[in-house]
Structure formats: structure tokens, C-alpha cells
């Protein structure tokens, strides 16, 4: 039951990249923290991030942790969002050889894992190559 409750609590940030903006210094924060890590003032103003950014760094995994063996090889990237925050996420819809630093990407919602064949399916954000360039 804890998995269901946890998924319910973090659904906004996992499905639509909901973050916060510090009203004191203007920093965009993801994931939400309630206190700005830049100036230590309250950061309670919710914001939906665009989901667009670029690959800042990446690594392809060939030896996966338990529960992710069926996905290997897969690429994980540090994505710098247009709004500023850095997000670590799996890349999808792209071969590892095609990934490069500076590659434009966009957030998509995809299956992350499942708790056995009859268990809870966990969805969340991944990033794919951008289908269109941001204006």
C-alpha cells in the first residue's frame, strides 16, 4: 500500500514536472522543496515546467540495478531544463550512439517499472529527442 500512497503524493512532479519558484530570488526549483536552496527563503509558488531542455551529461548503463535488467542497455542523462533546474532521467526513443551533449530533449510520460506482473505499474518522466525546436 505504501507504493500507492507515495505515487499519489508525487504524481504532479512525476507526470507534469511541477516545481516551485522562490518569490524572493526567482530561482526555479525541482523537485519542490518548500525552501529555496539558493537563498533559504520559502518557495511555495507552484510552477509547471516546460519539459524542454538539453542533455548536459549522460551515461549508458549496461549493468542495471535489480528490477531494471529488462531495460539494458539504457541511457541516463542530466538534463538542463529551459527554466534552469537540472533533472536526472532516462532517455527514450533514441539509440545510445545518437545521444550527445547539447542534444535538445523534451519530457514524456512513460512506464518506469512495475511491482511484479500483477502489481502496481509506476509511470513517470523520461526524455526523448525534441520533436520540434523551442521558439
What are 132's three cell numbers?
A: 520540434
Q: Residue 14: is its pLDDT beyond 60?
A: no
- A 10 A CB-CB count for 52 gives 19
The structural domains of the chain, ordered by start, are 1-49 (no CATH), 50-135 (2.40.50.840)
Measured on CA atoms in the order 132, 18, 43, 91, is the torsion positive or negative?
negative
Angle (nearest 5°) at CA 21 between 16 and 26 = 140
What local confidence, expressed as pLDDT, does residue 118 receive?
Answer: 67
CA distance 62 to 74: 7
- Asked if the model's pLDDT at residue 105 lies above 60, the reply is yes
Contact 105, 77 (CB under 8 A): yes
Distance CA 77, CA 4 (A): 27
The reply to whether the predicted model has a pTM over 0.75 is yes
Amino acid at each position: 500500500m505504501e507504493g500507492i500512497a507515495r505515487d499519489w503524493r508525487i504524481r504532479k512532479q512525476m507526470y507534469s514536472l511541477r516545481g516551485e519558484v522562490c518569490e524572493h530570488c526567482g530561482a526555479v526549483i525541482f523537485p519542490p522543496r518548500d525552501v529555496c536552496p539558493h537563498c533559504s527563503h520559502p518557495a511555495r509558488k507552484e510552477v509547471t515546467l516546460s519539459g524542454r531542455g538539453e542533455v548536459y551529461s549522460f551515461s549508458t548503463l549496461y549493468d542495471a540495478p535489480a528490477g531494471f535488467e529488462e531495460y539494458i542497455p539504457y541511457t541516463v542523462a542530466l538534463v538542463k531544463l529551459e527554466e534552469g533546474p537540472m533533472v536526472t532521467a532516462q532517455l527514450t526513443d533514441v539509440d545510445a550512439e545518437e545521444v550527445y551533449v547539447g542534444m535538445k530533449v523534451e519530457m514524456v510520460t512513460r512506464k518506469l517499472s512495475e511491482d511484479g506482473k500483477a502489481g502496481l505499474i509506476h509511470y513517470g518522466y523520461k526524455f526523448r529527442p525534441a520533436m520540434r525546436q523551442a521558439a
